[in-house]
Chains A and B, each alone.
Chain A
């Protein structure tokens, strides 16, 4: 089945730093999404991308849908402590049917530097 390669698996941040993470796939996706999961909670949608090349911002978060439709990145600028959590990319092949199901990356865990 399709797989998404998400990197890095984990990273430590210091307040004020910029953070980058990305996802790549061997398949072309119709839609790319980025979710964040806090401990003990369900994932929450941060950004949805619908067109190749699209660059979308949500506050300090910026995400791009790769031109090839096989990759996406998420940047967080000027990180703050509440940014810690697990970030998931997700791809959707098309709307509807079994190919409408989301395929999730394995997550990037953001922690605070000790």
Chain B
């Protein structure tokens, strides 16, 4: 059974489009995250979210918004896509806000 799953695995789209990436975890965790990994493999936190608090990294443009329909899901919506948004996006989850995080397989987003 996959602990943290993401769809789609690959996403190719044009500038200006709006897209969503879905994330689901079946671990019963209460905290979920979105990370961006750039072409140099640098991993950076974008959001962390539990049922009490959404913490946004101040460098994330407001075109990015996380939406959580329930504890097991944290989807990432991106409006008006730009070339610089091309990257691999990872979802992760943990029980409590700990460093012991389980990562999904990633979604490679390519904006043309």
Contacts and interface: CB of A to CB of B under 8 A. Distances in A.
B41 A106 contact: yes
B40 A92 contact: no
A73 interface: no
Q: Which of A40, A98, A101: most chain B CB closer than 10 A?
A: A101
Interface residues of B, number: 24
Interface stretch (B14-22, B64-72, B73-81, B98-106): B98-106
Q: Is the interface of A mostly helix, strand, loop or mixed?
A: strand
A17 to B, nearest CB: 23
Contacts of B40: 106
Interface in A92-112: 92, 95-98, 100-104, 106-107, 109
Interface of A: 31, 33, 35, 37, 40-45, 48, 86, 88, 90, 92, 95-98, 100-104, 106-107, 109
